[in-house]
């Protein structure tokens, strides 16, 4: 059984995996860049927190930087569980996609 993961949560989890330094602003930027949709900082924070509560992310406080008014960043990275969930989702999706008869899977 695949754990229940919303669309936004899935995207954010993937972005955290992609990014070298994943924290609120960078995730939001990446999200906007990759999907073309805008998103607010509080929304990103909520999603990150939720994913952390589900055990798919873990976080630690980064170093203080001048450009943020001296405030530190909370840096996120995916946990092994997070990776396994993502690959499970991928597997399920691929299976489902392969069953679609009329869908041409990107071969031209």
Partner 1 sequence: MGNNKHHKKVHPPRWADRFLEWYCASGLLDEIQGDLHEVFYTRIEKYGARKARWLFVKEVLLFCKPASFEKNTNTQYIILSGMLQNYLKIAWRNTLKSKAFSLINVLGLAIGLAACFLIMQYVRFELSYDTFHENADRIYRVIRENENSASQTPSATNHPGAGPNLKADFPEVEEYARIVHQSIFWSDMTAWSYEDERGNVEVFNEEEVYNVDPSFLMMFSFPFVYGDPDEAFPNTRSVVISETTAKKFFGAEDPLGKTLMVNGQAPFTVTGVFQDVPENSHIKFDILLSFFLNEGWGGGWDNNWSWKWPEFFTYVKLSPQADPAALEAKFPDFMQQYVGDRMRETNSKEGMALQALTDIHLKSPNLDKEREVHGSEQTVYFLVIIAVLILIIAWINYINLSTSKSMERAQEVGLRKVAGASRYQLVTQFLFESAIVNFLAIGVAFGLVLLALPYFNQLVGKNISSNIIDLILINESWFWLTLAGVFLLGSFLAGLYPAFVLSSYRAASVLKGKFFRSRSGIFLRKALVGSQFAISVALIAGTILVFRQVSFMRNQDLGYAKDQLLVVESPRVGDSTFIQRLETFKTELKRNPDIYHMAPTSEVPGKLISQMNFIRNRDEGTEANIGIYHFHIDQDFIHTYGLTMAAGRNFREAEHLLPPDEREKNPVPVMVNEKVIELLGYQTAEEAVHQLVYFGLGPRDWEGEIVGVVENFHQRSLKTAYDPILFFPASGFPRQYFTINLSMDQPTETVDFIGEQYKEAFPGNQFNYYFLDDYFNRQYAADQQFGQVFGLFSGLALLVACLGLFGLSTFMISQRVKEIAIRKVLGATLSSMVYLFSRDFVRLIIAANLIALPLVYLAVQRWLSNFAFQVNIGWVIFVIPAALLLIISLSTVSFQTIKTGSINPVRSLRQE
Contact positions vs partner 1 (CB under 8 A): 23-25, 28-29, 40-43, 45-46, 49, 61, 67-69, 71-74
- CB nearer to partner 1: give 37 or 95: 37
Distance of alpha carbon 67 from alpha carbon 78, whole angstroms:
26
- Distance between CA atoms of residues 108 and 105, nearest Å: 8
Minimum CB–partner distance for residue 78 and partner 1 (Å): 18
User: What is the smallest separation between the CB atom of 16 and partner 1, expressed in angstroms?
Assistant: 14
- CA dist 7 and 86 (Å) reads 12
C-beta closer to partner 1: residue 7 or 40: 40
Which CB atom, from 23 or from 51, has the smaller least distance to partner 1? Answer: 23
How far, rounded to the nearest angstrom, does the alpha carbon of residue 17 sit from its chain's CA centroid?
A: 7
């Amino acid at each position: 059984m695949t754990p229940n993961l919303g669309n936004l949560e899935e995207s954010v989890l993937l972005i955290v995996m992609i990014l070298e330094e994943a924290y609120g602003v960078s995730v939001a930027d990446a999200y906007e860049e990759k999907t073309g949709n805008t998103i607010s900082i509080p929304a990103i924070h909520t999603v990150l927190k939720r994913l952390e509560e589900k055990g798919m992310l873990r976080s630690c406080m980064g170093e203080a930087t001048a450009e943020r008014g001296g405030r530190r960043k909370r840096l996120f990275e995916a946990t092994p569980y997070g990776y396994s969930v993502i690959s499970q989702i991928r597997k399920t999706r691929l299976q489902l996609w392969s069953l679609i008869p009329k869908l041409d899977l990107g071969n031209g």
